[in-house]
Chain A
């Protein structure tokens, strides 16, 4: 009952929180002392990057690890990993696009080959590579095993991206929320709006993941039904 209710509410709550983020970000929050109105991109870009790097890639990695672990191995885990990685690709691309849109007026360039940006682009290539690797393997078990190993190895890049702004000198600014001494470097209502944007985009990920998972389930069912029909026709041929 609760599960059904939360599933039904996921979409509407996501939309309400996204609308709230948009309203607060555009009209309620003040301009920044240095960036002026450009600061409004802080309510979009960090939340999308959070989902791309940690939530979606993290979900794909955890599901892959659970698939490889014998006790929890099931095709459900493989399907979750696959669907989460597909959503991750979308969010990584959005991270790079929104970052570029923000970078052009603030930094003065669309792109810089610094450690943060380059490692994020590499994560995008690895995520697309994961999907290509799945297509390269016809056998479902082999496909699930190989892609799970690949997802876990690719996830090594996530902490590199996170700490790149601390380990090396980058044009990209340091962390706003997850700073080393846990000091929030953002002011009042701006901080609350940032927090709401993180919740909104996280829920959007789970909404998209659920929709993508359902689609994959229907495809699997359709494939099984088609196979059953073919076998049945084959049997009938044999009976003639």
Chain B
């Protein structure tokens, strides 16, 4: 056994280029993040921050809407719902009594009923028509929660609604 084999190698080792490598990796992570956030935003918010237009808003600029595909929000008028073979037809009302006649395809959501706000994806059948051809109905329920049998429960202040 020679002396060089037994003596441990204690010569200094060059430190790894940790800072530069970290910077490169960090920039790569940030780049991926920017792309991911941009991809999420591009799905909807870059086009419009508002998810839908109300019946009143659409009436305010009806000519510019034409027959383009929009998401239309309004309240389902009581007594107007008719179940059809491929969906439902009903009247959508705005706050100023404006009306749009919707013929929607596809099964409506479980909560679809009279007097409930809905968002309908679709388009007007012609540039001046008030008939709306819907491809999807979404229910926009409120954030208030009231017991189905109010007499059974009382609010914290003792009143019952």
Residue ranges of A at the interface with B (Cβ–Cβ < 8 Å): 30-36, 38-39, 42, 105-109, 112-115, 118, 121-122, 125-126, 129, 132-133, 136-139, 142-143, 146, 167-171, 173-176, 179, 184-192, 237-238, 240
State whether B51 touches A112 (Cβ < 8 A). yes
Q: Which of A143, A190, A238, A240 contacts B145 (CB 8 A)?
A: A190
Contacts A133-B30, A192-B156 known; 13 new A-B pairs at CB < 8 A: A30-B147, A42-B145, A109-B136, A129-B33, A129-B36, A136-B28, A136-B29, A142-B19, A143-B22, A169-B53, A185-B145, A187-B146, A190-B147
Residue ranges of B at the interface with A (Cβ–Cβ < 8 Å): 6-8, 10, 18-19, 21-22, 25-26, 28-30, 32-33, 36-37, 40-41, 43-45, 49-54, 73, 108-113, 116, 119, 136-150, 152-156, 160-161
Q: Which of A146, A184, A188 contacts B147 (CB 8 A)?
A: A188
State whether B10 touches A237 (Cβ < 8 A). yes
- A187 with B25: in contact, given A106-B110, A107-B109, A176-B145 (CB under 8 Å)? no
Provide the residues of chain B in CB contact with A109, threshold 8 Å: 136, 138
Q: Which of A136, A168, A175, A188 contacts B143 (CB 8 A)?
A: A175
State whether A171 touches B40 (Cβ < 8 A). no
Provide the residues of chain B in CB contact with A106, threshold 8 Å: 109-111, 139, 141
- A108 with B137: in contact, given A32-B145, A138-B22, A188-B147 (CB under 8 Å)? yes
Closest Cβ of chain A to B2, distance in Å, is 15
Provide the residues of chain B in CB contact with A190, threshold 8 Å: 145, 147, 153
Closest A residue to B106 using CB positions: A108
State whether B155 touches A132 (Cβ < 8 A). no
Complex Cα–Cα for A106 and B142 (A) = 11
Closest A residue to B42 using CB positions: A113
State whether A173 touches B147 (Cβ < 8 A). no
Closest Cβ of chain A to B96, distance in Å, is 17
Provide the residues of chain A in CB contact with B44, threshold 8 Å: 113-114, 118
Provide the residues of chain A in CB contact with B54, threshold 8 Å: 169
Complex Cα–Cα for A186 and B108 (A) = 26
- A132 with B141: in contact, given A32-B147, A137-B22, A142-B22 (CB under 8 Å)? no
Q: Which of A36, A107, A186 contacts B138 (CB 8 A)?
A: A107
Provide the residues of chain B in CB contact with A34, threshold 8 Å: 111, 113, 116, 141-142, 146
- A136 with B22: in contact, given A34-B116, A238-B8 (CB under 8 Å)? yes
Closest Cβ of chain B to A21, distance in Å, is 15
Complex Cα–Cα for A137 and B24 (A) = 9
Provide the residues of chain A in CB contact with B154, threshold 8 Å: 188
Provide the residues of chain B in CB contact with A121, threshold 8 Å: 40
